Each structure stands twice: as structure tokens, then as C-alpha cells.
Structure 1
Amino acid sequence: MDRIIAADVFIKIVEQKSLAGAARALDMSRSMVTRYLNQMEKWANTQLLHRSTRKITLTSEGEKVLNHSRELIAIAQNISAPIESNNRLNGQIRLSCSPFLAHDVLPNMLQQFLHAHPEVSIDVQISNHVTNLVEERIDLAIRITNDLDPNIIARPLGKCHSVLCASPEYLEKNSKPITTDDLSRHNCLNYSRFEKSMWHFSHPENPVSVAIAGNFSANDSSLLLKAALNNQGITLQPKFAAQKYINNGKLIHLLPHLKPQTLSIYGIYRSRKHQSLALRSFIDSLVTYFDKIDT
């Protein structure tokens, strides 16, 4: 399927005479169009286009690849293989998400979706890194961020709320913070992919940003949660992950009058127009799921 999409992108670049025009025609980000073109040239092992500030022209090899691409699209359009039979979806969905989402949030939803659609398979790739959807053959990447690249195609799925917490044992030895200023005297366990050494809180009057410091940081929130449970310090955690430990007394919710900055959850994909019915249904199910659960 990736080669069919890449062929379609290549044809659109030639027809529109620009990468930007192809992106508009396909409802795809320009960066994604560039990745598909690069992938086509990698497969062909040669340059396919001459690019200048004024125009795009085909190389001699590009002419051959264009003809092959049109043949490929024609074959794909004539294949009589229904994606959906008796309202049953099929095919594979290759999903990328963070360890927190994979372990704490999505397991029930994934099993419910697979139970409802037994002819669909899901391959989960767990990663905190920015994913190259084309090279890694990812259909959907779920990311938690307030700093989304405006050039990518994404759909809002939900919100991620956070809580500040620490173990009773840690607080017994180090005292309980009453104000945000008190955090400077504590060992704060920081998520290292956030803004360096800053925690942000909303407030009815003014938002508050607090400089924090500590002896342990990680780019995996579950590792920071385990550190807090082991009495190592104060952590800012997704509410969905920490709430059960707050409920059973293993963690204490700190500064509850302040609301940590809410993050957005996005589903990132290559194109709106080149989605299987299974992927579309899966994304719709994610929106419904995140709307129901308290994240």
C-alpha cells in the first residue's frame, strides 16, 4: 500500500508541477509529500525530478517511473477486492504510541476494537520518539503534546490531565509543599522531554510557571511514577496513571488547588485521503474512547 500511495503522490507532483500543489491536491502535508518523493527516488535508486525555484521537470528515469506509477495506480483501481464485506473491516493497522499510552490507557480499547472487528490486526510500536511515518510504515502515531508541528496531518483525540504527587514516606521526611515556591526545596522528578526544569500550572488569576530541580529525569512517565512510589521525590504524572495510587494511599495529591497544564492527545497520519476503512474506524473509536475515560 505504501508504494501505491507513493506512486500517487509522485503523479500528483508532476501534474501539479510542485510539491506544494501536490500536498494541497492530496490534503497531505508538504513534508509528507517530500518524504514520499524521497522514498520513490530511494526505490528507483536515481533522481526522478529536476527541481528549481521556478519549475519541476522529469529526468529521463523520472519519465519511466511516471509511466510505471500510472500503470500501478490503474491496476490498483481495477482490483476487485472489497475492503469491507458484510460490514466487517479487515487489514492491519500499524500503531505508534508512548509507553504510557500503550501500557496504561489503550489496552482495553485495543482489545474491544479487535473483538468487534476480528479480521483487523493491530501492530503496536512503542516509542517516545518522533516517528517517520513513511519510513517506519506507521499508519497512526498517537502523541501527547501542546507543540504540534503545523505541517503534519493530525486529528485531536482527547486531553491529558496531570496531577502532582509524592509518596507519604517521602513527604514525611521532606515535608509537604504548601505553595509552588516550596517545590524548589524538593527533589522533583522531571519528564526530560518537557521544557527544561519547568512545571506549568493554571490559576484562576494568573498561570504559574515553576523552576524545579532533582536528581532523576526520564523521557518515560511510568519510570518517574515508579521512582515516586519508591519515595524518591515529587512527580508530575498523567492523572490516568497516578489516580489509582492516590486512591489507595500510595501517593498523595499535592497542591490540588492548582491545575497542571493540560496536554492534547493527537492522532497523526500521512493523509486524510489515503486511509483504509479500518484505520478510519479505529480513529473514530479512539475519539469516542478518550471522550469516555478520565485522562
Structure 2
Amino acid sequence: MAQDGELDLFHAILDAGSFAGAARQLGVTPSAVSKRISQMEGRIGAPLFVRTTRRMTLTEAGRTYAAGTKDILARLTQVENDIAEGTGAIRGPIRMTASTALGRRKVLPIVLDFSESYPDVDIDLTLTDALVDLVEDRYDLAVRSAVLPDSSLIARRLADNRRIICASPDYVERRGAPTVPEDLSGHACLTLNVSGPFNAWRLMGDRDSPTDLGRGFSCNSLDALHAACLRGLGIARLPSFLVADDIVAGRLLALLSEAEERSDRSAISLLRPPNEVVPRRVRLLVDALVEGFRHHV
């Protein structure tokens, strides 16, 4: 068996977690997988797996082989993809994720345009406000609008994540408008009911002491807070991609603009795992996202 075929087999076993799973994935019998791995171990001169009736684990030699060949297999796959994509249509899968409101408003239109341009690329898009593990869950890309923790992920800034404190004209008429950040403690403030920095309204550049907020409607969805703000239930601090059109149309009023301008801003970022080899289809989608956010955010 050719060594590149052995690499495919070895890593298929790692991905599937068993010889039987790799056999199903490759369309061969479990005995054929076992025979080929035995031949491979004989050639290398060391066992790669410890096989028992209940589980399969890598030996020390197996762990060394896995670590040393993962990039080789990725490079072989990339060479084949580059040849295929250079002579025909761009094709293959892309798995990506984005936060719900940002994904629905900004990411999805770009992805749909990309899908129309490259119909042979199969995009699997998950919209969720949960922070997913790109490496563990095997995502190619993620678009996030939060402060990013230190990690090995490759990050590219797409746009400022400007937030705007706002309320409906009806709310301001009934309750008045805050003139300084300290006034917010006496107002109904709309917040997320999940942990994280979103509810820490650090205005006037104050990093250490978030502004005290009055209690109001709370939910785990930015779209829901947006709807509550439009209904006049309180004051919200929402991303500009959600409320900019409402402010222009007069459905919402921007409040405490001077304080907001002096506050710290996060960014909308495009993340990908630290893979040395990035398929051309993924690079093209990255370019489309960068261009799309440049013109529309």
C-alpha cells in the first residue's frame, strides 16, 4: 500500500476512534484495516495502537507518528485541492459559525452571495451565541463580535463593533433621557441574562467600574433586546449593525453619544484554527467576508 494511502488510513482511524469506524468511512472491511495497520507497523518496526476488546489507544510510537504526519496529510490534501481547483470549479466543504444576530444580519447575506458564485462549495453555517471550540468542533471559520480571549486561533479584524445606547421616542417621552451615565441607574435598562462583558457598560473610557444600570427586561438574545427597545420597554446598548437603520428612520434615538464615543470598543473578528494549510475555497470565503464587511458595516 502506498504511504499516502497509509496516512489516510491511520488518520481515518484517529478520526473515527476505532478500526470499525474507519472501515465504514473508507468503505472496506475491519479485517482489511487491521491487516494494513499490521503491515504498516511491521514496516515501521513499532506498534502504533493498543487494541483491546473495549478500546483502542495510541502507543507512544503512535502518538509520535500522529503528531508528525498530520501536517503532511494536510499538505497532500491541499496539493490535490489546488490542482483540482486550478483546473475546475472551486468545490468542497466549509464549516463555519457566527453569533446569531450578527450572523443573520451581516454574515448570512455574504455567505449566500458566495454560495451563488461557488455552487460546488458546501457551506455548513451554524448561528449560535454560544462560544464554540473551533478546533474541537472542526470549524474552518468563525465570526464573533466579542472581546477575544488569548488563544492560538488566527484572528482578523473585520470591523469595529460600535455599540449605541438607544431608546424609542415613546420611552424617552415617558421617562426622559439620561444626560450623564450615572442617570442610567434610574432607568429600565435592557440586558442579556448570560454571563460575560456585554452588560458591563464601560462608558467615558472607564475600564475599572462599569456604569450602574437600572433593572429592566432581560433575555439571552440581542434580537429580543432590540425588539424590546423598539417597543419602548427601556434603554439598550446594542451593536450598530442592529440599530443604525432604526436611528436613521427615527424609530430609535441615540443617547449619551459623547460618553459612548469615549468608551472602549470591541471588534468584529474573523477567526480560524491555526492550520498551516488553508484550502483555496476557505481563502476565497475569507476574502468575501473581508470585502463584505468593508462595505456594509
- The answer, yes or no, to whether TM exceeds 0.5 is yes
Q: Counterparts of 1:286 and 1:77 in 2: how far apart (Å)?
A: 24
Structure 2 residue ranges without an equivalent (≥5): 1-6, 15-48
Aligned-residue identity in percent: 25
| 1:112 matched residue in structure 2 | 113
| 1:198 matched residue in structure 2 | 200
Deviation at 1:45, TM superposition (A): 4.1
> How many aligned residue pairs are there?
246
Give the counterpart letter for 1:222 in structure 2: D
Secondary structure at the aligned position of 1:271 is classed as coil
Matched ranges for 1:263-278 at <5 A: 263-278=266-281
Matched, 1:159 2:169: no
Give the counterpart letter for 1:264 in structure 2: A
Secondary structure at the aligned position of 1:201 is classed as coil
Contact 2:163–2:240, Cα closer than 8 Å, also in 1: yes
Cα RMSD, aligned residues only: 3.6
Matched, 1:47 2:57: yes
| 1:122 matched residue in structure 2 | 123
Structure ranking higher in helix proportion: 2
Query: Quick one: structure 1 residues 88 and 255, their matched pair in 2 at CA, closer, same or farther if it must change by over 3 Å?
Result: same
Contact 1:197–1:211, Cα closer than 8 Å, also in 2: no
Q: Counterparts of 1:130 and 1:74 in 2: how far apart (Å)?
A: 26
Deviation at 1:131, TM superposition (A): 0.8
Give the counterpart letter for 1:240 in structure 2: F
User: Please, which of 255, 259, 283 is the counterpart of residue 286 of structure 2?
Assistant: 283
Query: Quick one: structure 1 residues 265 and 175, their matched pair in 2 at CA, closer, same or farther if it must change by over 3 Å?
Result: same
Query: Quick one: structure 1 residues 140 and 83, their matched pair in 2 at CA, closer, same or farther if it must change by over 3 Å?
Result: farther
Query: Quick one: structure 1 residues 244 and 160, their matched pair in 2 at CA, closer, same or farther if it must change by over 3 Å?
Result: same
Secondary structure at the aligned position of 1:130 is classed as coil
Contact 2:152–2:273, Cα closer than 8 Å, also in 1: no
Q: Counterparts of 1:63 and 1:197 in 2: how far apart (Å)?
A: 44
Matched, 1:182 2:192: no
Q: Counterparts of 1:255 and 1:245 in 2: how far apart (Å)?
A: 17
Give the counterpart letter for 1:47 in structure 2: T
Deviation at 1:78, TM superposition (A): 11
Query: Quick one: structure 1 residues 83 and 166, their matched pair in 2 at CA, closer, same or farther if it must change by over 3 Å?
Result: farther
Query: Quick one: structure 1 residues 63 and 253, their matched pair in 2 at CA, closer, same or farther if it must change by over 3 Å?
Result: closer
Structure 1 residue ranges without an equivalent (≥5): 11-39, 50-56
Q: Counterparts of 2:156 and 2:144 in 1: how far apart (Å)?
A: 11
Q: Counterparts of 2:141 and 2:66 in 1: how far apart (Å)?
A: 28
| 1:142 matched residue in structure 2 | 143
Deviation string, structure 1 residues 218-254 (Cα, Å, up to 9, x no partner): 3321111011111111000111110111122211111
Divergent runs of 4+, >6 A? none
Contact 2:98–2:107, Cα closer than 8 Å, also in 1: no
| 2:296 matched residue in structure 1 | 293
Contact 1:83–1:277, Cα closer than 8 Å, also in 2: no
| 2:37 matched residue in structure 1 | none
Larger Rg computed on CA atoms: 2
Q: Counterparts of 2:249 and 2:158 in 1: how far apart (Å)?
A: 29
Query: Quick one: structure 1 residues 45 and 270, their matched pair in 2 at CA, closer, same or farther if it must change by over 3 Å?
Result: farther
| 2:73 matched residue in structure 1 | 73
Query: Quick one: structure 1 residues 240 and 80, their matched pair in 2 at CA, closer, same or farther if it must change by over 3 Å?
Result: closer
Matched ranges for 1:167-246 at <5 A: 167-191=168-192, 192-195=194-197, 197-202=199-204, 209-246=210-247
